[in-house]
Structure 1
C-alpha cells in the first residue's frame, strides 16, 4: 500500500512539473514574440495587442507594456495570487521582410494552426538569419533613395540628383560605421549633416542646397517615427508614444542643428558671400520623369528598410498612389496645407488596407513605403535649420508644431481609411497595421 502511495505521489509530482514546464514554455514564447516584433519594427501599440491576443490563445494571464528599448511583461497566477514581472531590453530596428514573417507566425499561433515548439523554432530562425539585404544592396538602396528624392520632392535638377547620389553613398557608409563604432554613433546625425551642409554650400551655385542637403539625409528623416508616435498617442498608448515623439523631435533638432552649423561654418570662413540656403531650387526635372524616378525611389526605400522582393510591387504601388495624390493636391491648394498630407495618407491607408483585406497579407508593408515618401520630417528639418543657420527668420521656432501637425494629418488619414475598410474592426486574430 505504501509503495502505491509513493508511486502516486511521484506521478503527481511529474504531472505538476510537466504542467509548470508547459506554462513556462508558453510564457517564453510570448516574450520571444514580443522581442521579434520589436526587432523587426512593428508599432508599439500593435506589439502589445499581438502579445495580448496570443497570450489569451495560449491561456496565459499576462499584461504587456512596450517602451523604447524595453518590454515589460507581467505574468499572473490566479491560483496562488502571485505575479512575476520581467524587464527585457530590446533595441528597435526595421526589417519589413522579417516583420511579415513574424506576423504570419503570430497569426497562425492565434488561430491554433501551428504547434508552439515549431513556432518558437521559426522565430529563432528569423532572429539568427542575416538582414533581408546585405551590405552592398543596402548601400545601393541609400544611393537610390537620396538621388531620386531630390527631383521628386525638392525641385532638384539632374545635377542635384547625381550629387545627392554621392551623398547617399557616403551617408550609407557612415551609417554602417556608426553601427560598428558606438562612440561615433552617438554623434552620427550631427556629424553627417554638418559634412553634407558644408560640402553642399561649397558647391553653390552648381547645386541647390535644399534639394541636395535634405535628400542626402532623407532616410534619416523621422517620418515613420513621428507618425508612429502620434498613432501610439491616439491609441492611448501614452508612455511609448510620448517617448517616441520626444525622441523624433530631438532627432529633427540634431539634423537641423548639423545643417545649420555647417552653413554657419561656411559663412564664417567666407564672410563676403551671402547665400540664401533655403531658396527655391531652379531648373527642376520635368514631371514626366517622375514615372521612372518614383518606382526607383520606392525600390531604394524598400531595400533600406528590408522589404523582400515579393513586397516590392505593393510597396511601390502604394507609394505611387500616395505621391500622386500628394503631388496633384499640392498643385491645387499648396503643399503647406495640412489637408494635403491627410488626404495623401487616406489614399495610402485605403489602398494598403484593401490590399491587406484582399490578399490576407500584412497591410503594414505597402503603408510604410508611402509614409516614408510623404516625409513629414522634411518641413521640420527646414524649420530647425532656420533656427541654427544664423538667419533672422522668426518662423524657425514653429518647427515642432509643423512636424506634429503633419504627423497628426497623416494619422487622421490613416485612421479614417481603417474605418472605411474595417467599419466593424478587423476580424483576424492577430494583425499589424497602423
Structure 2
C-alpha cells in the first residue's frame, strides 16, 4: 500500500471521483429523458400547455430542477444546479404532427415514469422504439382514409346526394395523393392548400350540373380543416399560454383562409372562362341522402378519420362512440337553433366531452382519444368555411369582420363545452390532468 501511495495513487480520491462521475451521468440521463419526452409529445400532437405540465411533473418526480417553455416548432428547456448556482439552456427544434396511437403510447410512458413504475433507461428505450416505428397506418390505408372520410362527410354535414358522395370520394383520393407529394416536394408543400382547392373548385364547377359544389368541394378537404388546431389554440389561451395559443390561433385562421382562397379563386377563374354562366357556389344541395343512412355513414366516416389521424383499431370503438354522441347532439341542435349559432358547437362539445371523460374515468384509458374523434367530427359542420369562401366572392368589410368573429366564436364555444364537461366529471380536478386532459 505504501508503494502504491508513493506512486501517486489515492484510492479514496479515485473512488470519490468515480462516484461524482456516476452521479453526473445519472443526472444527464434524467435530463435527456425529459427532453426526449417533450419532443415525442410535440411530434405526436399533444397540446402545448399539457406538454409543459407533463415535463414539469416528470422533472419533479426525477428530482430535476428545470424550467420548460414550448413554442410552435421549438422547445426551450433550462436545467439549474442549486449547489453551483449555474444553469444550462437547451433550444430544441421540433415540428408538430398528429398520431393518436403513438400519442397514447407516449402518454402512458410519461404516466408510468411519474408513478415510478418504470426506470428511465427502459422508458427512454420505449420512446426510441416509438420514434423509429413506422406510422400507425401505411400509405395505402391512409389513402383509403382520405377517400372514405371525404365521401361520407358530403352527405353527413353538407347535405350532399349519392352522386356527391362518390365524386367526393374521388376528390378525397386525389387530395390524399397530393398530400403525400407535398411532403416530399417542399416547394409544392408551400402552396399545397391553395393549389389543391383551386383544382377541386374548378373541376367541381365544371360538373356543377351533376353535383352540389358546396358538398363536394368542402368535403374533399375535410381532413385538412384545422379543427383540432383551432380548439387547441383556444385551450392554450384559456390556460394562459399566450404565446403558443396566439400563434396556433392565427395559424388555424390563416389555414382556413388558404382553403377558402383556393375555392374562391377557382370560382372566379371559372366565372371568367364561362361569361354569362351564373355561379352560386354555396347554394343548398338538392336530393340529399335520407338521414336514416347516417347510421351507416357515421361509423364509416370515423373509420376514415381514425386512419388519417393515426388512431389504431383498438381505439376505434371509443372514437366512434364519442363521435356519434357529438354528431347526434349537433344534428338536433341545428334543427332547433340552426348551424350558425355559437350554441350549437358548445352543446355538441359538452356532450362529447362528457362522454369522453366518463369513458376515461371508467376505463382508466386516455380520454383524449374519444374527445379527438368528437372534435374532428364536430368541426366540419360548424367551422365557417362557407363564410370564408364568401370573403373572396364578396369584398365587403362586414363579411371580413363577421368571418373573423365566427371562427373565434366557434373555437371558444367548443372549448367552453369541453371545459364544462371536464368540470362536471372531475369537479375537484384529477391527478392525471397534466397528461393530456382537457
TM over 0.5, shorter chain: yes
| Correspondence 1:417 to 2:421 | yes
For residues 3-18 of structure 1, the aligned pairs below 5 Å read 6-18=10-22
- Structure 1 residues 192-221: Cα deviation after superposition (integer angstroms, max 9, x where no partner): 010010001110121111100100000011
Residue correspondence of structure 1 range 327-338 to structure 2 within 5 A = 327-338=331-342
Please tell me whether residue 264 in structure 1 is matched to residue 271 in structure 2.
no
Instruction: Please give the secondary structure, in 2, of the residue aligned with 1:431.
Output: coil
Report the counterpart of residue 294 of structure 1 in structure 2. 298
TM-score by length of 1: 0.98
Aligned pair partner of 2:118 in 114, 120, 124: 114
Query: CA 1:138–1:268 in structure 2 vs 1: closer, same or farther (change >3 Å)?
Result: same
Change (3 A) 1:39 1:433: same
Whether 1:250 and 2:241 are equivalent positions in the alignment is no
CA, structure 1 residues 284+320, in 2 after alignment: closer, same or farther (shift >3 Å)?
same
Structure 1 residue 380: deviation in Å?
Answer: 2.9
Unaligned runs of 5+ in 2: none
The structure-2 alpha-carbon separation of the partners of 1:429 and 1:220, relative to structure 1 and needing over 3 Å to count, comes to: closer
Distance 1:360 1:188 in 2: 40
Alignment of 1:135-214 (within 5 A): 135-214=139-218
Supply the distance in 2 between the matched residues of 1:72 and 1:84 (Cα, whole angstroms): 11
- How many angstroms apart in 2 are the aligned matches of 1:158 and 1:182? 36
For normalisation by structure 2, the TM-score amounts to 0.97
Matches of 1:10 and 1:356, distance apart in 2: 53
- Counterparts of 1:394 and 1:412, CA distance in 2: 26
Q: Which runs of 5+ in 1 are unaligned?
A: none
- Give the structure 2 partner of residue 102 of structure 1: 106
Does the Cα contact within 8 Å between 1:147 and 1:164 map onto a contact in 2? yes
The change in CA–CA distance for 1:376 and 1:49 in structure 2 (over 3 A counts) is farther
Q: In the alignment, which of 343, 348, 351 is matched to residue 347 of structure 1?
A: 351
Following the alignment from structure 1 to structure 2, what is the Cα–Cα distance between the partners of residues 289 and 60? 56
Tell whether 2:318 aligns with 1:322. no
**1:211-242 deviation digits (Å, cap 9, x = unpaired):** 00100000011111101100000010101000
Q: Can you list the C-alpha shifts for 1:359-395, whole angstroms capped at 9, x where unaligned? A: 1111100011110111168643222211113577952
Q: CA deviation at 1:335?
A: 1.2
Deviates more, 1:140-149 or 1:382-391: 382-391
2:71 paired residue number: 67
CA distance in 2, matches of 1:396, 1:211: 23
8 Å CA contact 2:156–2:298 kept in 1: the answer is yes
1:290 Cα deviation after fit:
0.2
Q: Is the Cα–Cα contact under 8 Å of residues 264 and 390 in structure 1 kept in the other structure? A: no
Q: What is the distance in 2 between the residues matched to 1:209 and 1:309? A: 33
CA distance in 2, matches of 1:243, 1:8: 56
- In the alignment, which residue of structure 2 is the partner of 1:22? 26
Distance 1:429 1:349, change over 3 A: closer
Contact 1:225–1:245 (Cα < 8 Å) also in 2:
yes
